[in-house]
Structure 1
Amino acid sequence: MAHLVAPIENKVNLAIGLVLVSQLVLLVLDISAKWLSVEGLPTTEIVFVRYGMHFFLLLLLFLPVSGKKLFQTNNLKLELLRGGCLLVTTGLNFLAMRYLPLTVTSAIQFTSPLIICALSGPLLGETVGWRRWVAIGVGFIGTLIIVRPGSEAFQPAALISLGCALFLAFFAILTRRLAGVDGALTQQFYAGGVPVILLMPFAFGDWAWPSQPISWVAFFIMGAAGLLGHFLNSTAHRFAGASALAPFSYLSLIYLSIASWLVFDQPPDQLFILGAGIIIASGLYIWLRERSLHKAESVVDPVLER
Structure 2
Amino acid sequence: MTPPSPPTPTPDAARLRRLRLLGIALMCGAVACFTCIDTTAKYLGRHYDIIEVVWARYVSALVLAFLVFNPLTRPGVLRTRRPLLQIGRSALLLGTTVFNFLALKFLQLDQALAIMFSTPLMVAALAGPMLGERIGPRRWAAIAVGLVGVVLVLQPGFGAVHPAAVLSVLAAACSAFYAIATRVLARFDSDATTLFYSNLLGVLLLTPLVPFVWTTPTDPLHLALMVMFGAFGSLGHYLLIVAHRHTPASVLSPFIYTQLLWVVAAGWLVFGDVPNQWTLAGAAVVIASGLYLVHRERVRRTG
Q: TM-score higher than 0.5 here?
A: yes
Residue 254 (str. 1) matches residue 271 (str. 2): no
Structure with bigger gyration radius: 2
Instruction: Indicate the RMSD between aligned Cα atoms, in angstroms.
Output: 2.7
Find the counterpart in structure 1 of residue 158 from structure 2: 151
Is 2:273 the partner of 1:266?
yes
Instruction: Quote the offset at 1:20 in angstroms.
Output: 3.9
Q: Is the 8 A contact 1:184 1:234 kept in 2?
A: no
Deviations 1:189-209 (A, max 9, x none): 101001111112212211113
5+ unaligned residues in a row in structure 1: which ranges? Answer: 1-10, 297-306
CA 1:75–1:158: 2 relative to 1, 3 Å: same
Name the amino acid aligned to 1:31: T
Q: Which amino acid aligns with 1:258?
A: A
- The answer to whether structure 1 residue 276 and structure 2 residue 279 are counterparts is no
* SS of structure 2 residue aligned to 1:266: coil
Q: Is the Cα contact below 8 Å between 1:113 and 1:243 reproduced in 2? A: no
What is aligned with 2:42?
34
Q: Does 1:23 align with 2:17?
A: no
User: How far apart, CA to CA, are the structure 2 residues paired with 1:86 and 1:234?
Assistant: 19
Q: Distance in 2 between matches of 1:170 and 1:180?
A: 16
Q: Deviations along 1:206-240, whole A, 9 cap, x unmatched?
A: 11133433222212111221233345556778999
CA deviation profile, 1:260-286 (whole Å, cap 9, x unmatched): 111111111222111111110010001
Which letter does structure 2 place at the counterpart of 1:38?
Answer: R
Partner of 1:61: 68
In structure 2, give the amino acid aligned to 1:197.
Answer: L
Contact 2:121 2:143 in 1 (8 A): yes
For 2:235, give the aligned amino acid.
L
Return the alpha-carbon distance in structure 2 between the equivalents of residues 33 and 59 of structure 1.
23
Q: Separation in 1 of the partners of 2:246 and 2:187?
A: 10
- Specify which of 62, 87, 95 is matched with residue 94 of structure 2: 87
Matched with 2:53 is 46
Given the superposition, is the C-alpha separation of residues 198 and 83 from structure 1 closer, same or farther in structure 2, using an over 3 Å criterion?
A: same
Q: Equivalent of 1:204, from 192, 211, 218?
A: 211
Distance 1:94 1:189 in 2: 21
* 1:7 aligned partner: none
1:160 aligns with 2:159: no
The letter for the 2-side match of 1:32 is: T
Cα distance in structure 1, aligned partners of 2:92 and 2:22: 26
Measure how far apart 1:132 and its partner are. 1.1
Structure 1 residue 15: Cα displacement? 7.6
The equivalent of 2:9 in structure 1 is none
Cα separation, 1, equivalents of 2:26 and 2:184: 18
**Structure 2 residue aligned with 1:186:** 193
For 1:218 and 1:184, how far apart are their aligned partners in 2?
26
Match of 2:148 among 133, 141, 145: 141
Deviation, structure 1 residue 243:
9.0
Whole-Å separation in 2 of the counterparts to 1:211 and 1:99: 24
TM-score (norm 2): 0.85
Q: In 2, Cα distance between the equivalents of 1:126 and 1:59?
A: 36
* Number of residue pairs matched by the alignment: 285
8 Å CA contact retained: 1:14, 1:239: yes
- One-letter amino acid of the counterpart of residue 116, structure 1: V
Q: Cα distance, 1:254 vs. partner?
A: 1.5
Show the counterpart of 1:126.
133
- Normalising by the residue count of structure 1, what TM-score does the alignment of the two structures yield? 0.84
Q: CA deviation at 1:175?
A: 1.9
- Tell me if the contact between 2:121 and 2:146 (Cα under 8 Å) persists in the aligned partners: yes
Per the TM alignment, residue 181 of structure 1 is displaced from its structure 2 partner at its CA by 2.8
Distance in 2 between residues matched to 1:238 and 1:121, nearest whole Å: 27
Distance 1:242 1:89 in 2: 23
3-state SS of 1:137 partner: helix
| Letter aligned with residue 271 of structure 1 | W
Percent of residue pairs bearing the same amino acid type: 39
Q: Distance in 2 between matches of 1:64 and 1:120?
A: 33
CA shift, 1:244, in A, is: 8.5
